[in-house]
Amino acid sequence: MLQARSEGDLAGKSVFDLFSEDLARRYDKDDRQVLSFGKAIYDREEEFVDHLGRTRCHLTSKLPLVD
């Protein structure tokens, strides 16, 4: 798992570079569904284990941006 210290550290990276394999697969699946079907995800509480082994939680919203 990459430790990003600035926005530049994230350029060109995918979720597979930033998160554990299981989290990256879940996030990628969600992203693909939002983009493919246009159905937004709002305020989903997600639990994960950080790079120090601590159980953490974050709130996720994903929605397609269209022109």
What are the mean pLDDT values of the chain's consecutive 10-residue runs (67 residues total)?
80 89 92 93 91 90 89
pLDDT of residue 48: 85
- Domain assignment present for 51: yes
Instruction: Please tell me the total count of domains within the chain.
Output: 1
* CA-to-CA dists, residue 33 to 2, 18, 29, 43, 67, angstroms: 25, 20, 6, 16, 18
pTM of the model: 0.75
Strand partners, 44: 60
Q: What is the pLDDT of residue 27?
A: 92
The predicted structure's pLDDT at residue 4: 78
Between CA 1 and CA 5 the distance in angstroms is: 13
**pLDDT of 19:** 85
Tokens of 52: 């120090």
**Domain enclosing residue 13, as ranges:** 7-62
**Backbone φ and ψ of 66, nearest 5°:** -120, 155
Spatial contact of 23 and 48, defined as CB atoms under 8 Å apart: yes
Provide the pLDDT for residue 2: 64
